[in-house]
Structure 1
């Protein structure tokens, strides 16, 4: 039962009655390493003798959520979009009008391929040959194998 609203002070209080690893498994909204980093960055101290975390109730970060201190690589801030409001720009040096390329740009996105990770066993010499061919064609091995299999399935009618 993870608690998204778990505060730093609550973690230290729970740590008084249970081991940190158990606390992270049962109550924390993040894993033990991220929880440890959050406690450190919040200003909590770890006592080596008692193996417990501590933060004073009067500490400014005591009532803040654990998630406020977690550095997540999964959460990405959206990039601001370029909004060209006017198609004409005036060159400050020459004073001439220029068309804004961003205004007329057509946004194209590459087609995203959904991939499935596959593991297979193959002859070692065949694997070496495929790797050499991939290197010669500046491809990754999976791209070469995918290309060969695609060609094979297109050539051979399904039964």
Structure 2
């Protein structure tokens, strides 16, 4: 499910304990790959092991949102930002936020799958299929650009032992 900027509430600090990872990365393909690799490593360290469905889906969501920030939200000389929040409460949703600096290009999924001759155009379709909910809106700090977020449920019971 997508939402538009009018329905997005300002992000607030979660009331339950959670793991957080955030980083600013260069708006290049290398930066997008690094975002996925670093978030994947953090998930594993927090008790969501490599090769599990939850790990692979969350890493893929980070990769798709980061790739979109680089490809569609890039402003030369400006970075993008990734924030990964994994609550330790069982079955609580993971929140992935990717912020870029190009606010006039809004994320809209393709209305249908692109042809088999194309290698692009599937990113937001994957996000829509894998995320429980996703949306976008203006950056909360009124800086130029937008924030794209998604939520994905996971079983946090495995993480509880690592707090």
* Interval containing the TM-score (normalised by the shorter chain): under 0.3
Tell which structure's C-alpha radius of gyration is larger: 1
Higher RCO (CA-CA < 8 Å; seq separation 6+): 2
Normalising by structure 2, we get a TM-score of 0.22
Normalising by structure 1, we get a TM-score of 0.22
